[in-house]
Every structure is written in C-alpha cells, then in structure tokens.
Amino acid sequence: MVKRQWIGIHFHKDRLNHPWIIPRPDKNIALNPHFMRNTLIALPFIFLLSGCSDHFQGELLFVEPKVNDSFYFPYFLFIPENVDKNQEMFLIVEPNNSGFADDQLEKHIEKASRTATKTHYPGHYLAQNLNYPLLVPVFPRPSGDWKIYTHALDRDVMLQKGPPLSRPDLQLLEMIRDVKTRLMDRKIHTHQSIILTGFSASATFTNRFTLLHPDQVFVVAAGGLNGLLMLPVDSLNGERLIYPIGTGDFHEITNAEFQKDLFIDTPQFYYMGELDDNDAVPFDDAFDQEEREQIYRLLGRPMQPDRWAKCTRLYQDLNVNAIIKTYEKTGHENTEAIKLDILSFIQKCISENSGL
C-alpha cells in the first residue's frame, strides 16, 4: 500500500466518524451535516485572506448551507466589481483543491478563499478578465478517511452513502442553483450552463464532472491532471473500464445514463507541462489497486509521454471536442501563457455561441 505522507498530517484509518471543526472568533463548532444556517457573510477583510498578495477587485461572499439545503458544506462566491448587469453571463466554477487531507474544515476554507481571490488560479483569472462571477465550493478532504479524495471526485467518494460526503458532484450542482438564485436577486443573470476550470486534483474533478454532467457544462479548461483523462467509453481492448477510468460502470455509480453525445460536443481544453512529474496514480489516496493496474495496463505506467499521449489519441479518435496541449519547458504550474490560452479559448467559445 502506498500512502502519501503530508508534513504535519497524521492518517488515522480507524477514525471512521469524525466532525470537521471550523474555529470561530468566539468558539469552536463541530460540523455536522446541518449545523450551518442561512448565513451570508461579506468578506472584504476576512482573516482567511491574510497572506494573499493579490488585491482582488470585487466582492467576496462566504455562504453556509441552510438546514434544508441539499449541500452540506459552504462555498465562496466572488462577484467582480465591473460585472455587467445588462447582459446574461456565465457562472465560473472552480472546485477547491487544498493539496492535503485534514479534518479541520477551516484549513480547507482558507485554501478555497485563495482559489476565489488570486489570479494564480484560472477561475479567478477568468472572473477578473471576463467580469463573470466565480463559485468555489469548500469540500473537505478528511484525514481520518484518507482514501476519500473528495477534491479529485475519486471512486471512494462517489461510492459514499449518505451525507455529508455522498456525491459531491450533486452537491456542487445544488450550490450552483443556490448561487444563481442569489445572483438573480442582485439582477445578475446567468446562463444555465457553467464555465468549469481546475488545476491538479481540481482539474481531475472537472474532467470527471464534465463526463457526469455534460448538460451542465458550457466549456471546461483544466490542467496538470496526471496525464490521465477519464475516457467516454465503456471498454478498451475488450476490458471494461471502471470509474474513473471510463464509463463501464457509469450507471452503477450514478444511477443515470452517460450522455455521451453531449460530452463529446462539449468544448474542452486540457493541458500538461512537459516537465510536470506530479503523478497521483501510484498513491492509494487517489487510486485503488484495481484502478491503478487498469491504468498501467491500458494507458501506460509512465505519465509522460506514454499515458498522456494515449489519452490524447483516444479523445481524438472519439472526436471529442477538445484541445489537448503540452507546454514545453513547463512543470506543474499555471503560467501566464497558459492562462492567456485558456482565456482566448473560452472567449472564442463564447463568441461562437453568442446566440445563447
């Protein structure tokens, strides 16, 4: 068994039931599925943003779930100051990726706040350049149940039964509906579908989410995803592809049918840096042995160039509406050139669909 060792993080496999703790200025509150109430906090000066060098222009809201909501965790909503209320726009969504497992929800809130406010992240970069609102969920990544990799929408979390961790993809859809209602109250009108972005684990989340819900995604841009794309096919070389490698057990996992044609038509932009050596496949928090062996056997053990090239060819052979790029002399990072390419790609998609 291979397990990533995070500095200062201890894994306790026997902790199956655990609260997430979010410190408040006056007290600590254990997070159960519905402890949060209808709370909306404007955060122009929140302590979570200390240490962020970027000066964002706009309003940052922190929204906690109500008792009757169908999502169990908070989210950030960033609204640029120059948002145009006279035109219909897209909501940008970037899933949070803390980069570590921890039962303290506060730590995931802090990381999500950075995603919502720093132009290093593609979602905020697009929000500032397009003047579109940005949603960043605050999903936890528990250290007690360390194999549940919520931030990558892995198989373990998709198999969870009951709240609060079950089906983060459906919880995110509920957050999106909640955001759109709040924006409508501000006379900000958004399209039904979203712009979806991500990097590293959150890129993996976005790729998988797009296969799960292609009817909800207008365009997706994601990078640094371990040289691995989820394949929109049930089998390869006569072998059934399990989630998250393919769609062979899609109905068993989701109780829904895969909307293959919609996925293939969805505009997608995926990228890797040629020097990127960040590979999650060998680690048990990201993939179980069965998944790992199938990836190595069918797509390749070396992340680059083998696995990435094989996934690229398969997407091309299936006529997926995707641009897949490898950036020279680039590691596991979002360079300015990459962000400009993402912006250009999304602007082109918007322009070509101006009749929406």
pLDDT at 40: 55
Nearest to 274 by CA among 333, 329, 198, 338: 329
- DSSP β-ladder status, 75-80 and 134-137: antiparallel
pLDDT at 146: 93
- DSSP β-ladder status, 89-93 and 134-137: parallel
pLDDT at 36: 41
What confidence tens digit (pLDDT) does each residue in 311-335 have?
999 999 999 999 999 999 999 999 9
Query: DSSP readout, 302-318?
Result: SIIIIIHHHHHHHHHHT
The torsion of the CA quartet 85, 86, 89, 91, rounded to 10 degrees, works out to 10
Which band of pLDDT confidence, cut at 50, 70 and 90, is reported for residue 276? Answer: very high
Task: Tell me how many helices (H) and strands (E) the chain has.
Answer: 10, 13
Which band of pLDDT confidence, cut at 50, 70 and 90, is reported for residue 55? Answer: low
Please indicate whether residue 38 or residue 310 has the higher confidence score (pLDDT): 310
- The token duo for 94 is 């970037």
Q: Are 347 and 325 in contact (CB under 8 A)?
A: no
Nearest to 180 by CA among 209, 216, 156: 216
pLDDT at 51 over 80: no
What confidence tens digit (pLDDT) does each residue in 8-36 have?
222 222 322 333 333 333 323 234 444 34
Q: Are 82 and 56 in contact (CB under 8 A)?
A: no
Average pLDDT, the chain: 88
Which band of pLDDT confidence, cut at 50, 70 and 90, is reported for residue 41? Answer: low
Q: How far is CA 211 from the centre of its chain?
A: 13
What confidence tens digit (pLDDT) does each residue in 214-246 have?
999 999 999 999 999 999 999 999 999 999 999
Average pLDDT over residues 291-300: 98
β-sheet with 190-199: strand ranges across: 39-42, 58-64, 75-80, 134-137, 89-93, 190-199, 217-223, 268-273, 322-327
Question: What single-letter DSSP state applies at residue 25?
Answer: S
pLDDT at 354 over 60: yes
Percent of the chain with pLDDT over 70: 84
Per-residue CA distances from 297 to 2, 246, 293, 307 (Å): 19, 14, 6, 10
Please indicate whether residue 127 or residue 41 has the higher confidence score (pLDDT): 127
pLDDT at 114 over 70: yes
Instruction: Please state the domain extents for the chain.
Output: 20-352
Class of domain 20-352: alpha beta
Q: Are 54 and 145 in contact (CB under 8 A)?
A: no
Report how far residue 60's alpha carbon sits from residue 46's, in angstroms, rounded to the nearest whole number.
9
What confidence tens digit (pLDDT) does each residue in 85-103 have?
999 999 999 999 999 999 9
Average pLDDT over residues 262-286: 98
Of 24-33, 40-49, 228-237, 261-270, which gets the smallest average pLDDT?
A: 24-33
